[in-house]
Structure 1
Amino acid sequence: MKQLIIGGARSGKSTLAKQSALAWQQVSGGNITLIVTAKPDGIAGSEMSKRIVHHQMNRPSSWNVLQASTDLAGAITQAQDDNTLIVIDCLTLWLANELMEAQSTWSNAKADLLSAVDNSRCPIIMIGNEVGQGVIPMGKFNRTFVDELGWLHQHLGAIADCVTMCIAGLPMVLKPHQPNRGGHL
């Protein structure tokens, strides 16, 4: 099962992902690996550090945590283990990190991620911010970021079994899970 959860900032995405992961764990008895993409010294500095602490305080301490500010595909491969669910929080920061990394080749990183998700033997819950519904930002980098995130969500949505959008803490299912496609969350 591959699930994509999108929504605005503070829309309830991480809470929904946590609830889904814990429900899966209760049924399967399996492990949860969280892949985090935020860098405390990254683009937002001390504000990001506060957000990281908030997320740390609101997740179970039993979850395995991997840091992957870049090379998300490699982290997914590393997390592959029998009876493990992978939660990725979040695609948006990973994209920003990849686009700002001088050595990164975005098209390769994106292709690697899509392949890793598509070929994962573990269920995956992916979280991403929906940023393309407002004013188009000025500046080439900002427009590129919005475009690339929209395309990334489209490609992941196509291979995901379920796509949910959160608004005001309420999940709206955009692509319902088809039970005959395997797995469950």
Structure 2
Amino acid sequence: MIHLVLGGARSGKSHFAETLASNLTQDTHQPVTYLATATMGDDEMIERISQHKLSRPNHWRLVEEPFHLAEAIASNENSSVILLDCMTLWLSNWLCSHDPEAFTLERDALIDELLKRQKPIVIVSNEVGSGIVPMGELSRQFADQAGWLNQALAAIATEVTLVVAGCPLTLKSTTTARVNDHD
């Protein structure tokens, strides 16, 4: 099961994803593996990361990987649930590396690894396409790449939820997909 959780900044998407991951491990009592893509580039980001750490249970495993997510997921294949937060930070890491060819290879490897995974994974990503077209070239490239990345993830996800003002809205569900297949 791949559950993609989308939302804007401070929409409640990470809290929703953390609750979902906890619920998925409730019966097994196995810890969640939290796969974090953020890097501590400035004081504000250090504070954000600290707040995220405080919101998670202490017994969850933390894997910090800003670039090579396919490898990180493969090396944690025995984890009962992986919570991957956040795809747009991962994208920013790659865009700032100025290596588009390596990004394309890693993105394709990530999609392949997600398709192979047999256990649940919850993926958090920002929805950035609801606003105006950004003025700067890098900002436009980020918005375009984030949109394409979210579309690729949604295409393979079994569940997609958009979180707005703390309220989850189901965009795709295996239940609704089966109903729509019969129309």
TM-score between the two structures when normalised by the length of structure 1: 0.90
1:141–1:179 Cα change, 3 Å: closer
1:1-185 aligned at under 5 Å gives the runs 1-41=1-41, 45-81=42-78, 84-103=80-99, 105-178=102-175
Partner-residue secondary structure (3-state), 2:27: helix
Please state whether the residue corresponding to 1:19 is helix, strand or coil: helix
TM-score by length of 2: 0.91
Structure 2 gap segments, 5+ residues each: 179-183
CA contact (8 A) 1:38 1:94 kept: yes
Give the count of matched residue pairs: 177
Whole-angstrom CA distance in 2 between matches of 1:17 and 1:155: 19
Between the aligned partners of 2:138 and 2:115, the Cα distance in structure 1 is 28
- Give the % identical residues: 38
Aligned residue type for 1:93? L
Q: Over aligned residue pairs, what C-alpha RMSD do you find?
A: 1.7
| CA distance in structure 2 between the aligned counterparts of 1:158 and 1:102, rounded to whole angstroms | 27
Greater displacement, 21-30 / 101-110: 101-110
Deviates more, 1:46-55 or 1:113-122: 113-122
The alpha-carbon deviation at position 84 of structure 1 amounts to 1.2
TM-superposed deviation, 1:103: 4.6
Q: Which amino acid aligns with 1:28?
A: T
Whole-angstrom CA distance in 1 between matches of 2:6 and 2:168: 9
- Shift, 1:177, TM fit: 3.1
Per-residue deviation, 1:179: 9.8
Gaps of 5+ in 1: none
